[in-house]
A and B are shown apart, each in its own frame.
Chain A
């Protein structure tokens, strides 16, 4: 296997990791802060992409502006989500799971009924291809990578340096203790949900441009997000970086040596093995 091929796949691994990390960020935040697996993340990701399409293509707004607006709109939806779908079932894992699954079913069918028949893709956020040393990289993917890195750093900064972020950290470590300290768990959860939904919308829009939009695009990426947060360990946002790189590398390199469904089987097999050796995730309970 020649060096050029490996270099190309290596670059792709990096890009793929950034795409996975973008999807996983909001999911990891909610899991750490509220301890819930927000399966609805999959459809917020998808809806964000479709809203961006509606704004940019149907209404003709500037695409970057549409991206920001989509994030804001889904962030607002996050408020609704926290108040009416998470708060009533706080602490009740079973009902939260059913609620988030219900949201997936409802939103997916609604979007499918409305626009499902049309194959849609967002226009590229940046055009052009960089070619250097036998390696090709589309500017679009590079831009996504940069946005992903920036958002990851911003989120880590937010958690470590801001008051609300510190409160989220406290809640993730011990929610009852945090409440005793006077932290308003519901308000902090609301902020976390808004951020998570906005992040999901950004991820969905960017992926909607790189790949395409589909009412069912969220479910497969959701599995990647789950892999990343479990590998990273619940409570660790920084760990999302390491876990994302690992998964991106596995997914990018395996198809070179394996064919077809074996890539899926071996890829997840590696993840399971890692988890069996480190059951609490690679970075456990750190942020």
Chain B
């Protein structure tokens, strides 16, 4: 039984990844591919939000950092003519730098204060994007963002991205897999342990010699780097950006995706984002009543699944275990 349970998780994950890689073979409609691409990008963002939250900082500004990556990469590649393959990592770096700059002063605020100050900070960032209209076009939109440059290895492969959804899908799938692997590894390293220690009790952590401020900034930097990467990739897929996509409501929604999916598990943000972004798309036919479906999912999860959707499996296992125990007649070990 031990060998079996040890293998089930990796095998399950591997088969999921293989299934996702084969997706475009089964689903041809570009509309569904589009939904998957956007969902994958947001999975990166929400997972990186969870990484920041591991250190006890619930940031309500994450969409703004996605925006920093998006606008930086978009503007630089458009104005300077650099290839997006270069500007996407640069976008991530830009988001990371800004995160570090504002992260240090923000270590002065804790818990709920930190969350709300981050909310304000995110709004300031988005307003500043609007102020820099000359380059960003403000609400009217940043247009003319170049798509991913074609990959051309003569004789081997020739992939163009412009106007094609499937190449973008594979790029996004690869990007998401890599980012999630990295985030997972970081979480299960000593750094991750330290973050969790700080989150539990910052006083105890400091008394053991942990540089609380330093690790908090590190969490913010790592999380915002990946948010920036996802944002930049979004920019070169969407080809047009508007500040509203990165405002305070989207930031709140990101927190919600994470909480509904389950804050305590790595799979939480992934499941939460996937369900809350894909399921409402099936209910577009309800027109103005469509958001009610989202509300219904949230209510169901919050009442029936205390640990979020990701915790559902464990919940069922626990319930099943309870039921099994009752069957054992008393007196038996």
Contact = CB atoms under 8 A, between A and B. Distances in A.
Direct contact of A and B (CB under 8 A): yes
Interface of A: 37, 39, 88-89, 92, 94-95, 97-99, 101-103, 105-106, 108-110, 112-113, 116, 219, 223, 226-227, 230, 234, 260-262, 264-265, 268-269, 271-272, 275-276, 279-281
A264 B123 contact: yes
Interface in B258-286: 259-260, 263
Given A101-B252, A230-B113, A279-B113, A89 B128 contact: no
B291 A97 contact: no
Contact of A265 (B106, B112, B117, B128): B128
A59 to B, nearest CB: 25
Given A116-B288, A223-B248, A264-B124, 16 more contacts: A92-B306, A94-B259, A95-B302, A97-B255, A98-B298, A103-B295, A109-B295, A112-B288, A226-B119, A234-B112, A261-B130, A265-B124, A265-B127, A268-B124, A272-B117, A272-B121
A81 to B, nearest CB: 13
10 contacts: A98-B298, A106-B291, A109-B289, A112-B288, A260-B131, A262-B131, A264-B124, A265-B124, A265-B128, A272-B124
Contacts, number: 107
B299 interface: yes
A44 to B, nearest CB: 15
A179 B302 CA distance: 26
Nearest to B120: A268
Contact of B295 (A106, A260, A269): A106
B123 A223 contact: yes
B303 A88 contact: yes
Contacts of A37: 112
Contacts of A98: 256, 259-260, 298, 301-302
Contacts of B130: 260-261, 264
B120 A279 contact: no
A92 B106 CA distance: 25
Interface string B289-317: 11110111011011100101000000000
Chain A CB count within 10 A is highest, among B109, B302, B308, for: B302
A265 B133 CA distance: 14
A98 B112 CA distance: 15
B290 to A, nearest CB: 8
Contacts of B120: 227, 268, 271-272, 275
Nearest to A103: B295
Contacts of B116: 226, 230
B163 interface: no
B166 interface: no
Contact of B292 (A101, A109, A226, A271): A109
Contacts of B290: 109
